[in-house]
Amino acid sequence: MTMTHRFTGRTALVTGAGSGIGRAVALAFAAEGANVVVAGRRREPLDETVALIEEAGGKALAVTADVTSAAGLGSLVTAAVDRFGSLDVAVNNAGVLEGAGQPVADVAEDAWRRMLDINVTGVLLALRAEVRQMRSQPRGGTIVNISSNLGAHGRRPGVTAYAATKAAVSALTRGAALDHIADGVRINSVSPGPVGAPMSLRPGETEAGRAERMRTEAPLGRVSTVEEVAAAVLYLASDDAASAVGTDLVVDGGATA
């Protein structure tokens, strides 16, 4: 694969970077020359992501942070700028899916509040901290939120509460994009469908079982890879997408086409 080094000399921050899409995004930015700050609640998986980046010759910093804490997110942005001098790209990927398979009437209140806190409030607080830094920089910055094809694009029984939080992310993205493009901050989102990560496994399902299910359930016939989602993120964050403002790019193998 030929790398274009679109992000050489830039700093990219990725939340939820200890595994799955977040780790793939962090590795992809590092491969294209970015200094990468990886954030999450648990230190060990973040250190693993940093090790993978450094083994490939990249530069990275791990910072433990809770996206539900405004102070914690402020400290995260400060740590990124202190280490690498700027915050040029941010990817708000941290998110949770609670109570899969439960209809609305059976959703536990604590599960609902946890999804709201992380998936919605966490994105809002992250946007605040990131935009405040980026709009103070001469060249501004770009932000990509990770939403979902469930919510604004499609619905499915048993994940209505989760879909509602992700629909909110899509709305937040578009509104914030309009609020801050004049500040030199360009904001978009990527909405993945099922990917090759544990979150897309149904209770008790194996990866082989998921692959068999997706042969008939997805028009593409398979889940998307985390690398494919990362490629979409990098496109929206790059100068190649300079006129994409408030775009919600669906990467779901045709599931909501």
3-state SS, residue 133: helix
Whether pLDDT at 169 is above 50: yes
This prediction's pTM? 0.95
Average pLDDT of span 14-31: 98
Q: What are phi and psi of 99, to 5 degrees?
A: 65, 35
User: Average pLDDT for residues 133-155, to the nearest whole number?
Assistant: 97
Q: What gap in Å lies between CA 13 and CA 35, rounded to an integer?
A: 9
Catalytic residue among 10, 162, 165, 200: 162
Residue 15 has pLDDT above 70, yes or no: yes
Q: What is the 3-state secondary structure (H, E, C) of 216-255?
A: HHCCCCCCECHHHHHHHHHHHHCHHHCCCCCCEEEECCCC
User: How far is residue 199 CA from its own chain's centroid?
Assistant: 14
Question: pLDDT class for 3, splitting at 50, 70, 90?
Answer: low
Give the residue-averaged pLDDT of 90-113.
Answer: 95
Q: Note the pLDDT of residue 1.
A: 41
Question: What residues are paired with 251 via a beta bridge?
Answer: 192
Is 235 among the residues known to form the active site? no
The three-state secondary structure class of 95 is: coil
What's the CATH fold of domain 11-248? Rossmann fold (3.40.50)
Residues 6+ apart with CB under 8 A from 142: 88, 89, 90, 185, 186, 187, 188, 236, 237, 238
Lowest mean pLDDT among 101-105, 165-169, 185-189, 202-206: 202-206
- Name beta bridge partners: 185: 141
pLDDT, average across residues 217-243: 96
b or e along 237-249 (b: 16 or more beta carbons within 10 Å of the residue's beta carbon)? bbeebeebebbbb
Convert the pLDDT of each residue in 178-189 to its tens digit.
999 999 999 999
Tokens of 91: 């990817």
